[in-house]
Every structure is written in structure tokens, then in C-alpha cells.
Amino acid sequence: MGRPESPPDPAAGPVQRFAYALRQLRREAGGITYRAMAERVDFSAATLSESAAGERLPSLAVVLAYVRACGADPGEWERRWRDASEEEAGRPAEDEEGVTAPYRGLARFEPGDSDRFFGRDQLVADLAELALDNRFVAVVGTSGSGKSSLLRAGLVPALRGDAWPGVRPSAVRILTPGEHPARTHARALALAETTGDGDTWVIVDQFEEVFTLCQDLAERTRFLDRLPAASRPGGGLRVVIAVRADLYGRLGEHRGLADALRGASLLVAPMSTDELREVVVKPAAAQGLTVERALTDRIVADVSDRPGGLPLMSHALLETWRRRRGRTLTVKGYEAAGGVRGALTQTAEDLYGSLSPEEAALARRVMLRLIVPGEDSDDTSRPAHRAELDAGGAVDTAVVLDRLARARLITLDDDTVDLAHEALITAWPRLREWIDRDREVLRRHRLLTEAAVAWEQLDRDAGALYRGRG
């Protein structure tokens, strides 16, 4: 008789809750053994047992096999798996005792994080005032200056609050362009234009993707035409976009954008010393923690000379919190984490060094697939579908993705994988070396990927295939 499984705690988070549900399903199927289950599907008894252990979220393929072996509905369990995956990817960091971190690390702040979003009060007020005076506004800043967090945890809560009576939006929609912005967001924009009383606010984060990811010029033009037209005076739509500074000039290529943004742009400047101190001290204080004064001084000094250094500081703070002494964040813990200049590299290298050679090769492949080499601009990130990253070999891609996500190097969102932050591109020397070595290969691969997608969308029309020279 096999050793009994230790029961997962359904209150301990999405992974253990999902494992608990899997075990309950097996009990409802009559307590079928894993060996009997393995005879019905293409996975071993050990793999099926591990999927319900609660240590990590199993891959979707294993879950569906487990469910089929128990005679349950795969469609229902796929939805449950995706919900658990999304919840796990978006959870704030916790320590081994389940205590939630006061810092976000590389993750951006979301509207629900406004209670720990500090240091930007004046910038939020300036942005809200500009957005109320203009129907189309651009927020411009370097990568790592905090544009996404400013919009999501600053502007959105301000609009929904009581700071500007009578200005509450009828709806707020947040989107990122992606590779097919006109097609992907047509419905959302149509709904936004027809929402009832009051203005609908459309916030377009990472607007540079219109130029870096969307290579279909006709689709790009349709999307760029739509936004200024829909936000003209008399309409019910207001638009706020965030765009990376090195690609801000590209907005001038479109006359409608240039006209709409005349006098309506906000440049995100580096934080002042006082603002940086708020970012360090106030999230900790909100949880009853203290930060050594010497540590605050050290972090402020380390980040003040680093444009776009906010994500590096946030990651260093998260790792320092993990190494806290009692309820105090210390200089010693900060130095052990690697500081602003080395914490991210140390985290990435620790994870990479823990992988087997096969897993490390797959991790390298995954990370490179999430990069778009810049052409007269900085390299940038790109989201990728999980199917594109599946190596199909002996290494379980889902396991490697899970390891990368738990190290907060990537994010997993439904069927999409993305870098946790573009800061990784310059802050992790190993990744930088990979990109520089394979730059031309990455460009060619991207062209082939786009061609394959277009071929599928054209019902595999033979005329749309690449042809050799003959």
C-alpha cells in the first residue's frame, strides 16, 4: 500500500487549492489509484501523483489527462486551471510563512495596489489635471520610470475616487496594443464609445508596441486613426497613453496623433530624494516594519544616478525584505541581496544555476523568444503564446515557465508569457550576452513567426508561403 499523501491546504493559495480540488476529484471517482489512472492516459503514475502534490501548478496537459482518467469534464477543468494560473502569476510575493511583501519587485503596480503606491502624489495630480483638460494625453518616460504603475495605481484610483467630484468615469478600460491592436481591441473600443452617461477612459499602456510589435502597417494605421477620432470634443471617450521615450518621436508619423497630443504630454522625470524615501519607507511602515536609516540613505544614493532604476530598486527592496531581521530591513540584508546594482542579476543567476542543463537551455530559449531586437531604438520585450515556447522535448516547458515565474523573471497571464520587466534586458548580463550573440537570428525568427501566423490566418493559403529561390 502506497504512502498516504499529505493533504494540501486549500487556504494556502491557488496552487494548493487546485491540488486539493484534484484530490477531491479522485476521491469522487471512487479513489482510483494513480497506477490505474496512468493506464488510461499517456502520463506516468508518478507524474499524475505529483500534479496533486500542491508544490507547483501542474501543466495543463497533465491536468487534462488527470481529469480524463477520473471521468470529469476537461473543459471545466481547463477553465479552473487557467484561473489558478492567472491568480498565481498575479499574487504579491510572500515569504515562507505566508507573509505578504510590502514591495512589488519587478511587477508593476495595479489599481488594487494604490494603498502601497508612494512617491508620485504630485505627478498623479499633474496627470489627472492634464487628462481632465485634454481628451487625449501621452505619458512619456524611459523604460523603468514607472509609467505603467503611474497609470494603473495612480491615475485610475484618482479618477474613481473623490478628488475630482463629478468627473468619475462611466468606465475605465486598460489595454496594451500587442501585435494586432486594431483587431484585438476593436470590440473594447466600440463598447467604450457607446458606454452610457459620463466619459469612458481608455488607458493604453506600452503604446510603443504599436511600432515594435505590430508590423502590419494597415492594421497599425487603423488603430492609430481610431483613437484620436474617437476622443474628439463632443465624444464620450478620453484616452491616456504611456509611451517609451525613445519611441515618442514615432507618434509624429501620424498626423492625427500629433494634432491630438499638441500640448498634452507629460514627461515622467526621475523621483526626487524625498519621493524615493517615501518609496522605501512608507510601504514597510504600513506593515509595521522599520527600515534602518542608513539603508534608506544607501538605497536613495544608489538609485539616484540610475535613470529608469525604479524596478531595480523595487526588486532590491523585495529581496532585502526577504532577508529582514525580525521586523527591520537592514543594510546587511540589502548587501546580501546584491543591492540595487546586483540584486536582479543575483536572483536571475541563482535561478539559472539551479536548472539542469536541459532546463537551462530551454530557459535561454524562452527568454530570447520574449525579446524584440531594436532597430534604431532600444531592445524591447514581447509577449509570446505558450504554444510558441513549447520545446516538445523531454523537458516539461510548463515546469521551466513555473520556475521562471516564481523567480519573478517572467509573468504568466492565461495563455501568454512575458518578461516581468524590460529592466531585465539591461540588468542581467547573461541575457544581454545572449541577445547580442543571437541578434540577427532573433530578427529572422520574428519574421518567420509573423509569416507563420499570417499563413494560418489566411487559411494556409499556398500563395502566402515563403518560397525558395529557383
Q: Which residue has the cell 520610470?
A: 145
Q: What is the CA radius of gyration of the chain?
A: 24
CB 281 within 8 A of CB 300: no
Question: At a CB cut-off of 8 Å and minimum separation 6, what does 456 contact?
Answer: none
Q: Is the pTM of this model over 0.85?
A: no
* Residue 284: all three cell numbers together: 514597510
Helical H runs in 57-202? 60-69, 74-90, 121-133, 147-149, 156-160, 181-184, 186-193
Hey, what domains does the chain have and what are their CATH numbers? 14-90 (1.10.260), 120-267 (3.40.50.300), 354-457 (1.10.10)
Per-residue pLDDT of the chain (470 residues; tens, 9 = 90+): 344 455 676 656 678 788 888 998 999 999 999 989 999 988 888 889 888 888 778 888 889 899 999 999 888 888 788 767 656 655 556 555 557 889 998 888 888 888 889 999 999 999 999 998 899 999 999 888 999 999 999 998 888 776 565 566 667 888 899 888 998 888 778 776 665 567 888 999 999 999 988 888 999 999 999 888 878 877 778 899 999 998 899 999 999 999 999 999 999 999 999 999 999 999 999 999 999 999 999 999 999 877 788 999 999 999 999 999 999 999 999 999 999 989 999 999 998 998 889 999 999 999 999 988 877 778 888 888 888 887 766 678 888 888 888 888 988 776 788 898 888 998 999 999 998 888 887 777 666 666 555 555 555 666 555 554 44
**Which H/E stretch holds residue 400?**
helix 397-406
Task: Write the single-letter amino acid at 72.
Answer: A
Distances (CA, A) of 319 to 93, 103, 312, 313, 327: 10, 9, 11, 10, 14
Q: How far is residue 109's CA from residue 123's CA, in Å, rounded to a whole number?
A: 15
Looking at residue 459, the DSSP 8-state letter turns out to be T
Q: How far is residue 237's CA from residue 459's CA, in Å, rounded to a whole number?
A: 36
Q: How far is residue 279's CA from residue 299's CA, in Å, rounded to a whole number?
A: 10
CB 264 within 8 A of CB 225: no
Amino acid 94: pLDDT: 58
Amino acid 112: pLDDT: 83
